[in-house]
Each structure stands twice: as structure tokens, then as C-alpha cells.
């Protein structure tokens, strides 16, 4: 299984921090956002990654050359990154070939258990990780909402849904059937090629789009300075919990 991480955008909402660097290199507690995502993939056993770059992509390439992650990470250039995040998935088509693949966003902090749950879901169709208990500001402020049925198929998706029962966590498993859909969207020069537009076409197709319930798992979407501040606070809390649990284990040894 290969992974694709979307890291091409210019991150304007996180300005001025992104004026001189790509958003995935913005630090959170001394580590770039990207490193947390790569670590989650490695822990979940996905160790062949295509990192789709655009804005200041050379800086991401330099960063990868100077770090070792215990995995193979290849930079994939998306010259059309301003056309929407779906164009970055399309730029990875030769990298993933004809196999299913996992997609995540470089500006999302995700935990490995999200990817593990996704990989344990039957893979006959495309899958989106959905949080039915999302409550953090950086999960809800710019949320893509979903409405799913009792069989865990998603029926509607969008930021303006009035009726919804889950939030898109930004992690997908796609079949290669997504590429013809993206190719059609790329030919339409009048509208952006977004992941949401692509998955709406999947929902309307025979394949459909299934939901993987990741409620209770840790994830955050870092889009704004307020999101970044919240992420720092949340990570400090997770670290404190981990240290406390380790101390309890040591006391029992």
C-alpha cells in the first residue's frame, strides 16, 4: 500500500508564517507539520510515500534530503496546484499505478490509529475517514460535513450541508478509478478540481464512497494561526498524558 500526502498549497490563511516557507514546514512544538503526518504513516506500516509539492516545493525536497524517516518518500511536482487539491491527487497517478492508495493532507495532524482503522476497512470501494464526535475548533471551523447512511455509505458531502452526521477528517483510501474522474475535472478550466467534487462523482457512481468511523481518534486541521495555537496546546496535552502513562507503567514494573 502506498500513501500520498498533499503538500502543494500556498497556505495563505497561515500567513505570514507561509510567506517564506511551505505550510507543511511550519513548526508545531519544534517539529514541522509534515513530520507528524509522516510519522503516523510510518507507524501504520505505510512506508512508501508520494509527497505532492507545488508552492516552494524545493524547500520540502531539501527537508526530506536532510531527514531520515525509515521510509521512502518521493517528491511529486504538481505544476497545477492552484487549480485545487484534486489536481494534486491527479499528479500522483503514475506513482500509485493501478493499486489502491491512501491520501492525507500535510496540514492535518493525524494519529496512526486513524490509518490503521482505515486499512482494516474492506477495500472494495473508496473510503473516507469520518469523525462523528468532532468538537475541536480546528475540526469544525472549516469543516467539510458529510451525511452517511446506516450502511456506512456517504450520501452527501460539502461545507454548507444543513443536515450532517459526521465531519471529513481529510484521510481517504482511493481506488485507481478516481483518476478518470479527476481527468474530467481537470479538463474543465472554469472550475477548480477539488477532492470534494471528485468524491461527489464517486457517490453518484456505482462504486460509491464508504465511511470509516474514526471517532475518538486524534486529528486536527491546521489552517489558521488560531488552529496552530490550538494544535500546540493539544499536542502538549497528549505529551503530558503519554508521560503520565509511562510513569504509571514504570511504577508497576
* All cell numbers assigned to 76: 511529486
Is the pLDDT score of 124 beyond 90?
no
List pLDDT tens digits, range 72-91. 999 999 999 999 999 999 99
Is the pLDDT score of 129 beyond 80?
yes
Band the pLDDT of 67: cuts 50, 70, 90: confident
- pTM, two decimals, is 0.94
- Across the range 142-168, mean pLDDT stands at 95
- Across the range 81-107, mean pLDDT stands at 96
CATH code assigned at 78:
3.90.550.10
- DSSP line for 201-247: HHHHSSS-EEEEE-TTS-EEE--SHHHHHHHHHHHHHHHHHHHHHHH
pLDDT value at residue 241 = 81
In the chain, the number of structural domains is 1
Tell me the residue range of the domain where 113 lies. 2-252
Query: Residue 16: what are its φ and ψ, rounded to 5°?
Result: -90, 5
* All cell numbers assigned to 39: 510519522
Closest CA to 201 of 154, 239, 248: 154
pLDDT value at residue 242 = 72
Cβ 64 vs Cβ 52: under 8 Å = no
pLDDT value at residue 133 = 96
Amino acid at each position: 500500500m502506498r500513501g500520498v500526502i498533499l503538500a502543494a498549497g500556498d497556505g495563505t490563511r497561515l500567513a505570514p508564517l507561509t510567506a517564506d516557507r511551505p505550510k507543511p514546514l511550519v513548526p508545531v512544538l519544534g517539529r514541522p507539520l509534515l513530520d507528524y503526518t509522516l510519522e503516523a504513516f510510518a507507524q501504520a506500516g505505510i512506508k512508501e510515500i508520494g509527497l505532492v509539492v507545488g508552492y516552494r516545493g524545493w524547500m520540502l525536497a531539501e527537508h526530506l534530503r536532510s531527514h531520515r524517516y525509515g521510509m521512502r518518500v518521493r517528491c511529486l511536482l504538481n505544476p497545477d496546484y492552484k487549480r485545487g487539491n484534486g489536481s494534486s491527487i491527479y499528479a500522483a497517478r503514475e506513482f500509485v499505478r493501478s493499486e489502491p492508495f491512501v491520501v492525507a493532507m500535510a496540514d492535518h495532524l493525524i494519529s496512526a490509529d486513524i490509518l490503521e482503522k482505515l486499512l482494516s476497512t474492506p477495500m472494495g470501494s473508496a473510503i473516507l475517514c469520518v469523525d462523528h464526535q468532532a468538537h475541536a475548533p480546528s475540526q469544525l471551523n472549516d469543516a467539510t460535513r458529510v451525511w452517511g447512511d446506516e450502511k456506512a455509505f456517504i450520501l452527501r458531502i460539502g461545507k454548507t450541508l444543513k443536515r450532517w452526521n459526521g465531519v471529513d477528517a481529510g484521510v481517504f483510501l482511493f481506488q485507481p478509478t478516481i483518476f478518470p474522474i479527476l481527468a474530467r475535472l481537470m479538463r474543465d478550466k472554469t472550475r477548480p478540481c477539488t477532492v470534494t467534487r471528485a468524491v461527489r462523482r464517486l457517490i453518484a457512481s456505482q462504486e460509491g464512497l464508504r465511511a470509516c468511523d474514526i471517532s475518538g481518534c486524534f486529528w486536527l486541521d491546521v489552517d489558521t494561526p488560531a488552529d496552530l495555537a490550538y494544535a500546540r496546546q493539544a499536542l502538549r496535552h497528549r505529551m503530558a498524558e503519554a508521560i503520565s502513562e509511562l510513569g504509571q507503567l514504570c511504577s508497576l514494573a
